[in-house]
Amino acid sequence: MPARTTIVAFLLLALAFVAPVAAIDDTEKELDRYRQMLKADPWSNPGLLEADRGEALWKQVRGPKNASLEGCDLGKGPGKVEGAFAGLPRYFKDADRVLDLESRLVWCMETLQGFAKAEIVKRPYSKANQTGTDLEALATYVALKSNGAKFAPHLEHAKEKAALALGEGLFFRRQGPMDFACATCHGESGKRIRLQALPYLSKPEEARAVIGEWPAYRVSQGTVMTMQHRIADCYWQMRLPRVDYGSDVTIALTMYLVHQAKGGDITAPSIKR
Amino acid sequence: MNRSILLVGAIAAIAVAVFLLFPRAQGVSSVDAAIKASWTTADREWLARLIQDETQKACSHYRNAPPKAVADAILARERATIVYPADGNVLGDWKKGQVLAQSGYGGRFTDIPPRAENGGNCYACHQLDAAELSFGTLGPSLLAYGKDRKFAAADAKAVYERIYNPQATIACANMPRLGASKFLTVEQIKDLVAFVMSPESPVNQ
């Protein structure tokens, strides 16, 4: 009998120790459930629903100019989607600018379909537990079409080199009331903030493991999240003002991150915390 | 005629020299231009957050490893920012400090208008109380910090300084300058010092 009491007491003690973490990070459990589900059935990834919606949107004739996005050149020629994401961001002659996937989609919606840019970028991100926005769905679709490819970003044009240098400068730039740079939180291996693991994004091994996962379905949000959104969220955490969608800064940071992840597998859309 | 050729030549030489001497300055101005073009919806007050002070500039440039002369200048400049409590007592109420250490509220654009006081968010980066398992590791563990230092007054003052402005102790420290940036008040910092340093605090059990 006393032995039993001891065991029960021990279990209760262990529980008391573990419970607070479990309560805080229910998301981890949810994530595990998803991981199991994905193992059993890769098609159960909710991110794929967004990709499907994105494919339909890509093909649909829309906008003031009554056009689909099938004429959109993502770097491999008009309408070529397969593998295109792996070569982005890159310089586009027509726009005379380095563009990432999302800003290229905006450019195509603007020039091919005739949508007003202000309208397109007014609400680029979905809120928790909503279906994705058009941009999120399109980005997820295009990224999925590079699933299995490896990042091979361009670095030929002077503006591509400038974007990479800018991205690197920004990554290490400290600013704001907290003195944060990206490198404050992503500049060393094995660190975490609260319980959230922070990848060392300047280290190729660690960048390769995570950068190709975006756009990702986020279990904690119940919706897909793109790289533009991820970076904007980190700037929000840094206590800085709201950064523009598809801005030079967020494109340059994406360029920097993709270059750190060069050769890494694209596994988008993945499932993340 | 000759004079003007000389003058043009001299100006060109100076321009080349400036370009060679300050290639970094060129890079910095392109960063500033990109920043200007990338935050178009914020108002002046918020945009000011993107402008670096001298210390942020130096720490970014040297990636937090400044040469000695630069580090010394940072230490002196940052030490001069520290405002001590009027009565010299750096120990406040540890119970209030405990709450502040948990709170990550404040300073984000979604926190405006303010709905609570700013928090210290210490657990984001430090282990403090053994009972709180959700802690980050960007900073060292502060478990038993006061106890290990025998609750010495000099160490309490040092903790006050570490929270007020860590760069008065370590140039380009990664910890935010929570007092110098006015993110926390002197009273709040005193409460946090008490949380770290007083014998009754769970940090030291």
The pLDDT value recorded for residue A17 is 44
Statement to judge: residues B198 and B98 lie in one domain = yes
DSSP characters over B54-78 = HHHHHHHHTTT---HHHHHHHHHHH
| Claim to verify: residue B38 and residue B105 sit in the same structural domain | no
Does residue B108 sit in the same domain as residue B192? yes
User: For residue B135, what are its two tokens?
Assistant: 């802690």
Q: What is the pLDDT of residue B16?
A: 46
Does residue B71 form part of some domain?
A: no
Residue B19 at interface with chain A, using a CB cutoff of 8 Å: no
**Chain A contact probe: residue of B174, B181, B182 with most A CBs at under 10 A:** B174
- Compare all CA atoms of chain B with the CA of A197 and give the residue at the minimum distance: B136
Q: Do B31 and A166 touch (CB under 8 A)?
A: yes
Structural domains in chain B (count): 2
Q: Which of A20, A239, A249 lies nearest to residue B38, judging by beta carbons?
A: A249
Report CB contact under 8 Å: B52, A243: no
Q: What is the CATH number of the domain that holds B98?
A: 1.10.760.10
Q: Is residue B33 part of a domain?
A: yes
ipTM of model: 0.90
Which residues in chain A are contacts of B109 at CB distance < 8 A? 236, 241-242
Verify that B195 and B98 share a domain, yes or no.
yes
Q: B34, A166: Cβ pair inside 8 Å?
A: yes
Mutate to test the interface with A, among B51, B52, B109, B133 (most CBs of A within 10 A): B133
Statement: the pTM of the whole predicted model exceeds 0.95: no
Residues B29 and B106 in one domain: no
Distance separating alpha carbons of residues A190 and A200, to the nearest angstrom = 8
Say whether both B197 and B132 belong to one domain.
yes
* Residue spans of alpha helices (H) in chain A: 2-24, 26-40, 47-59, 101-111, 117-120, 134-144, 158-171, 182-186, 204-210, 227-237, 248-260
Distances (CA, A) of B201 to B78, B121, B144: 29, 17, 9
Which of B51, B112, B138 to mutate to test binding with chain A, by most A CBs within 10 Å of its CB? B138
- Distance, CA of A258 to CA of B50 (rounded, Å): 24
Residues of A within 8 A of B177 (CB-CB) are 179
- The boundaries of the domain holding residue B128 are 94-204
Q: Does B123 lie in the same domain as B47?
A: no
**Do B56 and A175 make contact, defined as CB atoms within 8 angstroms?**
yes
Contact by Cβ (8 Å): A79, A70: yes
A35-79 pLDDT per residue, tens? 777 777 777 789 999 999 999 999 999 999 999 999 999 999 999
The confidence score (pLDDT) of residue B10 equals 58
**B42 and B110 assigned to the same domain:** no
Compute the nearest-CA separation of B68 from chain A (Å).
20
Given a cut of 70, the residues of chain A with pLDDT beneath it are 1-25
For chain A, how far is it from start to end, CA to CA, in angstroms? 43
**Same domain membership, residue B110 and residue B39:** no
Measured CA to CA, the distance from residue B96 to residue B120 in angstroms comes to 11
Residue numbers in B near A239 (CB within 8 A): 49, 107-108
Q: How wide is the angle at C-alpha A32 spanned by C-alphas A27 and A38, nearest 5°?
A: 125
Residue A244 contacts B, CB cutoff 8 Å: yes
Residues 6+ apart with CB under 8 A from A226: A102, A125, A135, A136, A139, A140, A214, A215
Residue B134: inside a domain = yes
How long, in residues, is chain A?
Answer: 273
Query: Are residues B133 and A180, on separate chains, in Cβ contact within 8 Å?
Result: no
Mean confidence (pLDDT) of chain A? 90
CB-based contact A237 B108, cutoff 8 Å: yes
Distance, CA of A153 to CA of A256 (rounded, Å): 10
- Residue among B167, B87, B102 at smallest CA distance from A174: B167
- Is position A72 annotated as part of the catalytic site? no
pLDDT tens, residue order, chain B (205 aa): 466 665 555 555 555 444 444 444 444 578 999 999 999 999 999 999 999 999 999 999 999 999 999 999 999 999 999 999 999 999 999 999 999 999 999 999 999 999 999 999 999 999 999 999 999 999 999 999 999 999 999 999 999 999 999 999 999 999 999 999 999 999 999 999 999 999 999 999 9
Alpha carbons B102 and B133: distance in angstroms, whole number: 12
CB pair distance less than 8 Å for A179 and B59? yes
Task: Tell me which chain B residues have a C-beta less than 8 angstroms from the C-beta of A184.
Answer: 138, 174
- B196 and B104 share one domain: yes
On whether residue B87 sits in a domain, the answer given is no
Q: Are residues B102 and B40 both part of a single domain?
A: no
Q: Is A103 on the interface with B (CB under 8 A)?
A: no
Same-domain check for residues B124 and B34: no
Q: Do B133 and A17 touch (CB under 8 A)?
A: yes
H/E element, A271: strand A270-272
Q: What is the pLDDT of residue B8?
A: 58
* Helix, strand, coil distribution of chain A in percent, nearest 5: 50, 10, 40
Q: First CA to last CA across chain B, in angstroms?
A: 85
Residue B19: its pLDDT value, please?
Answer: 44
User: Does any domain span residue B67?
Assistant: no
Whether residue B60 is contained in a domain is answered as no
